[in-house]
A and B are shown apart, each in its own frame.
Chain A
Amino acid sequence: MALANLKQEATGTRLAAAVVPPGGVWATQARRAALARVAEMGLPGRRDEYWRFTNPETLNAVQAPEAAAFDAGDEAPAFADVARLRVVFVDGVFDAAQSDDLSGEGLEIARLADVAQSDIHWARDLFGVLEAGGQHPVPRPLAALNTATATDGVVIRATSVVERPVELVLQHRDADSDVALHHVIRVEDGASLTLLESGAGAARLNTVAEVDLGHGAQFHHIRVQGRDHDRRAVTGLFARIAEGAVFKSFTLTFNGRLTRNEVVMDITGDDANAHVAGVALGDGRAFHHDDTVFVTHGALAGESRQVFKKVLRNGATGVFQGKILVRPGAQKTDGYQISQSLLLDGDSTFIAKPELEIWADDVKCSHGSTSGAIDEQALYYLRSRGVPLVEAQDLLVLAFVAEALEEIADERLADDLRGRLEGWLNRHRG
């Protein structure tokens, strides 16, 4: 009872402090409805099934704990070699000077802050809608809170094959910034879009992206979360995937005190693909990284993949909770799930909770989870060939995460991330 009261109290305090941004009728309605959802669900608590391994306290608190911005030195920014349309937010505030012109071929792109003022907009059919749809059977109150309070974000509609990726550059400057950004993305039938994302964004960042894919649409999402050591992030990615569409999301995480990445993928049309993958590298007791994924197969011959690798050292913690739900009639479903950790010492912890719920009889679903140390034999073999110990270790770490990186379709982008991984390993030797 005490815990339940505590949860109610936390919810009440946070909701009292919540500010619904100004907007048109539809946006305000959606935000108020989201606020009502939070009130009904309550903020996450340690007794909630999907919060047993991650403490939501600092995500719930009215005041965001401080986090200093990370100085990347002279390191090139993420995706620097890729021609892309940059949309820059500094501590959640749109920065026009640093951003590119918000236009591109086959692309409608605008800020949520502007779109929400309009009387009528296509985003109305998606804003808060996919998030609300993703609240069952597992509640995601922080995502609803995001819908209610997010001040800005991008609203993107891709109407053809968009060659130039859009990058959301999320810069973090103030040590006490607390930011919610909400993105709405619609990829029309046969169109395609690549969305890149980089940076910590704030001391405490809450992002939600609602992604709606039309028939045969393709969406590629590649994200590098900020290296700021004390930052906290809770992210929600809600995808609705129509017939023949391909949804792919990859996240690379270094550092951060607390990261909770939720992905909810809903396959609604036949022959669709839903792929989500991630690599997380954590060094130190303060590092806590949580991937929580829910894939629903609601149509024929859907293919889903979840590929997660975590490299943990010096007391870092990794969590994976992944569920595949195959609805009645979703025959010929092919679901795959793997979560693995490489524990570089005896102090680190990896917790995996794979779940399958299958209500169709002609499906293929597999899942696996492993946790292990560096292979001593392979290490000796490499050293016997003249590869120094630290280099050999790095090579084996890169080999361990390779399977997840292979989930990225674009080789240039995968190479960019590989370079970043090598850099991180270089800095975290010994």
Chain B
Amino acid sequence: MLKIENLHVRLEEGGKEIIKGLDLTVGAGEVHAVMGPNGSGKSTLSYALSGRDGYEVTAGTAMMGDVDLLAIDPEARAAAGLFLAFQYPVEIPGVSNMVFLRTALNAQRKAQGRPGYSSAQFLKLIREKAATLDIDADMLKRAVNVGFSGGEKKRNEILQMAVLEPMMCILDETDSGLDVDAMKLVAHGVNALRAQDRSFLVITHYQRLLDHIKPDVVHIMADGRIIRTGGPELALEVENNGYADILREVA
């Protein structure tokens, strides 16, 4: 589903290299976790994959199926099935959540050559999806993420994922700023989306999210590379011993 080879990314401002030859392959229907200490390049990886300005790919490839992600605009990546759940969801005053979601969904469907949703069809769809994430009508009417609590913002990200039904989902520290109940709700939303043809890359600092979203594979990232790959037990090892041991081993 996602195949990253020898990826190098640097910040346009200052030119500092953050990702330094990263290889990562996620198979269809799999859940992979990427863990690593602060500053290891986890968020940069998610931005580079989704096409954020300011992150320059200097070498390497990132293929999603047969789509060359790095060759196309962010909106085309999304239409091809890539979704990034933001660590810090952006507030958009003046645009209601409903309008935002419908615009995004219909834009993607148009790009895919499929018919758009009418207002009535969309309303039905959104109500179903929102109910499972405990998102009420008021949250849908309000401007995108404006005045939302941390938990509401993250649930809103998962709602977008549920509505857009991407093939490849990247969750960038979705657990940050969440209490246990909110995390369970978010994890439940993600688990409900797990499918044969949908893959997940879960970026997190902590094991605790992985208690709820069980990964098939765990990668440890440090200094812009994957330094160790293993099963779920690797996350437990990090939880118990921290990153220091692994980093020392590799060094």
In the complex, B126 has a CB within 8 A of chain A: no
Alpha-carbon distance between A375 and B144 when the two chains are bound, in angstroms:
14
Is the beta-carbon distance between A380 and B95 smaller than 8 angstroms? no
Is the beta-carbon distance between A378 and B92 smaller than 8 angstroms? yes
Is the beta-carbon distance between B92 and A386 smaller than 8 angstroms? no
Q: How far is the CB of A285 from chain B (nearest CB, A)?
A: 28
The chain B residue sitting closest to A398, CB to CB, is B94
Residues of A within 8 A of B94 (CB): 396, 398-400, 402-403
Q: Of the 9-residue stretches A7-15, A96-104, A179-187, A387-395, which lies at the interface with chain B?
A: A387-395
Alpha-carbon distance between A382 and B73 when the two chains are bound, in angstroms:
12
Is the beta-carbon distance between A386 and B111 smaller than 8 angstroms? yes
Number of residues of chain B lying within 8 A (CB) of chain A: 31
Is the beta-carbon distance between A395 and B74 smaller than 8 angstroms? no
Q: Tell me which residues from 366 to 420 in chain A have a Cβ below 8 Å from any Cβ of chain B.
A: 375-378, 380-389, 391-392, 395-396, 398-400, 402-403
Is the beta-carbon distance between A381 and B53 smaller than 8 angstroms? no
How big is the A interface, by class? 20 to 34
Q: How far is the CB of A161 from chain B (nearest CB, A)?
A: 31
Residues of A within 8 A of B50 (CB): 384
Alpha-carbon distance between A165 and B84 when the two chains are bound, in angstroms:
49
Is the beta-carbon distance between A384 and B108 smaller than 8 angstroms? no
**A386 contacts which of B79, B91, B95, B143 (Cβ < 8 Å)?**
B79
Is the beta-carbon distance between B93 and A386 smaller than 8 angstroms? no
Is the beta-carbon distance between A386 and B53 smaller than 8 angstroms? no
Residues of A within 8 A of B73 (CB): 383, 388-389
Q: How far is the CB of A411 from chain B (nearest CB, A)?
A: 15
**A381 contacts which of B86, B105, B108 (Cβ < 8 Å)?**
B86
Q: How far is the CB of A55 from chain B (nearest CB, A)?
A: 33
Is the beta-carbon distance between B84 and A384 smaller than 8 angstroms? yes
Residues of B within 8 A of A392 (CB): 75
Contact digits for A240-282, partner B, Cβ 8 Å, 1 yes 0 no: 0000000000000000000000000000000000000000000
Is the beta-carbon distance between B107 and A391 smaller than 8 angstroms? yes
Using A386-B107, A387-B104 as known contacts, say yes or no to A395 and B75 having CB atoms under 8 A apart.
no
**B78 contacts which of A385, A396, A399 (Cβ < 8 Å)?**
A385
Q: How far is the CB of A100 from chain B (nearest CB, A)?
A: 34
In the complex, B127 has a CB within 8 A of chain A: no
Alpha-carbon distance between A274 and B18 when the two chains are bound, in angstroms:
56
Is the beta-carbon distance between B92 and A388 smaller than 8 angstroms? no
**B74 contacts which of A384, A398, A402 (Cβ < 8 Å)?**
A384
Q: How far is the CB of B74 from chain A (nearest CB, A)?
A: 4
Q: How far is the CB of A97 from chain B (nearest CB, A)?
A: 40
Is the beta-carbon distance between A381 and B90 smaller than 8 angstroms? yes
Alpha-carbon distance between A381 and B104 when the two chains are bound, in angstroms:
10
Residues of B within 8 A of A402 (CB): 94
Is the beta-carbon distance between A388 and B75 smaller than 8 angstroms? yes
Contact digits for B56-78, partner A, Cβ 8 Å, 1 yes 0 no: 00000000000000000111011
In the complex, B103 has a CB within 8 A of chain A: yes
Alpha-carbon distance between A33 and B205 when the two chains are bound, in angstroms:
79
Alpha-carbon distance between A389 and B78 when the two chains are bound, in angstroms:
12
Alpha-carbon distance between A277 and B101 when the two chains are bound, in angstroms:
29
Residues of B within 8 A of A387 (CB): 75, 103-104, 107
Q: How far is the CB of A336 from chain B (nearest CB, A)?
A: 17
Alpha-carbon distance between A304 and B105 when the two chains are bound, in angstroms:
40
Is the beta-carbon distance between A386 and B108 smaller than 8 angstroms? yes
Residues of A within 8 A of B79 (CB): 386
Is the beta-carbon distance between A399 and B164 smaller than 8 angstroms? no
Residues of A within 8 A of B107 (CB): 385-388, 391
Alpha-carbon distance between A396 and B99 when the two chains are bound, in angstroms:
12
Q: How far is the CB of A8 from chain B (nearest CB, A)?
A: 48
Alpha-carbon distance between A392 and B92 when the two chains are bound, in angstroms:
11
Q: Which of A382, A384, A396, A399 has the most CB of B within 10 A?
A: A384
In the complex, B89 has a CB within 8 A of chain A: yes
Alpha-carbon distance between A389 and B52 when the two chains are bound, in angstroms:
13
Residues of A within 8 A of B92 (CB): 375, 378, 381-382, 396, 399
Alpha-carbon distance between A211 and B78 when the two chains are bound, in angstroms:
53
Using A380-B53, A380-B74, A391-B103 as known contacts, say yes or no to A385 and B89 having CB atoms under 8 A apart.
no
Is the beta-carbon distance between A386 and B86 smaller than 8 angstroms? no
Q: Which of A377, A381, A386, A388 has the most CB of B within 10 A?
A: A386
Alpha-carbon distance between A384 and B91 when the two chains are bound, in angstroms:
14
The chain A residue sitting closest to B85, CB to CB, is A384
Using A385-B164, A388-B107 as known contacts, say yes or no to A376 and B53 having CB atoms under 8 A apart.
yes
A-B CB contact pairs (8 Å), 25 listed: A377-B90, A378-B92, A380-B53, A380-B90, A381-B86, A382-B100, A382-B104, A383-B51, A384-B50, A384-B83, A385-B104, A385-B160, A386-B75, A386-B78, A387-B75, A388-B107, A388-B111, A389-B75, A391-B103, A395-B99, A396-B92, A396-B95, A398-B95, A399-B93, A399-B94
Closest 5 interchain pairs by CB?
A: A399-B94, A386-B78, A385-B104, A386-B108, A381-B90
> Given A378-B91, A381-B92, A392-B75, list of 11 further CB < 8 A pairs?
A381-B89, A382-B100, A383-B78, A385-B160, A387-B104, A388-B73, A388-B75, A388-B107, A398-B95, A399-B143, A400-B94
